[in-house]
Amino acid sequence: MADGFIPEHFAEDPFLQDVIPSSRESTHRKSTSRTRQRQTADAEPVQPVAIPPAPPSPAFKSFCGQVGRLLGRVTAECAEGTEDYQRVTSWFCKWLNQQGVVFRFVKRPEDEFVQAPHYTAFCRRASDGARSAFYLYEETGDEFVRLTRLPKNKRTYTTTCLSISDESAQAWADGIQRFLNASTETNTFNRFLEEISK
């Protein structure tokens, strides 16, 4: 599997939210037996309600996969001591926030998709709920994931947040892919910042 990419059929979704109505009555009046029977007969069974996902977005999926590739290479250099985790984490958290990308890392053991312990980054576009995922190896990504969970690196998203469009997502994905394929030199993060500032 290409570094960073999660197969499309990997369908687990941590953004599902169960909505459970409060059992507390709005009034303290005691219900009669007849009222309770009528309420029981009319009541609909409580079902978990999920945030509906948007239709699949190949562009957003490609964007997340290429971000995973880029982060995989950069965090490997951080683990070697040639790059700084704090600097990298701060920049990526701010950048993904600007793109309206909500992400959540979940620790995983070796599995059929990734042959090493890793973190799966579940991603959601805040504006419409489009979803995708990428992964980072635990060995090199552990500190990055820890830092993303610090309060200073967390963000609050709503459906009114400005989010990356499919057109921009594909442009970023293509650009990152060209950048990564062009060279295997170290100093990846600085070279990437130079590339996008041109």
- pLDDT at position 190 over 90: yes
Q: Tens digits of per-residue pLDDT, 80-110?
A: 999 999 999 999 999 999 999 999 999 999 9
DSSP 22-81: --S-SS-PPPPHHHHHHHHHHPPPP----PPPPSP-HHHHHHHHHHHHHHHHHHHHHHTT
Give the pLDDT score at 5: 52
pLDDT (tens digit per residue) in 28-55: 444 455 544 544 444 444 444 455 667 7
What pLDDT does 3 receive? Answer: 56
Q: Which pLDDT score, from 0 to 100, does residue 134 have?
A: 96
DSSP codes of every residue in 73-139 = HHHHHHHTTSS-HHHHHHHHHHHHHHTTEEEEEEEE-S-SS-SS-EEEEEEEETTT--EEEEEEEHH
The DSSP letter of residue 7 is -
List Cβ<8 Å contacts ≥24 apart for 17-26: 17/49, 17/50, 17/51, 18/48, 18/49, 19/48, 19/49, 20/46, 21/46
Radius of gyration for the chain, computed over Cα atoms and rounded to the nearest angstrom = 22
190: tokens are 């600085």
The larger pLDDT score, comparing residue 51 to residue 63, is at 63
| Separation CA 121–CA 130 (nearest Å) | 14
pTM surpassing 0.85?
A: no
Averaged pLDDT score across all residues of the chain: 80
Burial annotation 144-164 (CB, 10 A radius, 16+ → b, else e): bbebbeeeeeeeeeeeebebb
Distance from C-alpha of 61 to C-alpha of 21, rounded to nearest angstrom: 34
Mean pLDDT on 53-76 = 93
Residue 10 sits at the vertex; the CA angle it makes with 122 and 61, to the nearest 5 degrees, is 55
Q: Is the pLDDT of residue 159 over 80?
A: no
Separation of alpha carbons 92 and 136, rounded Å: 14
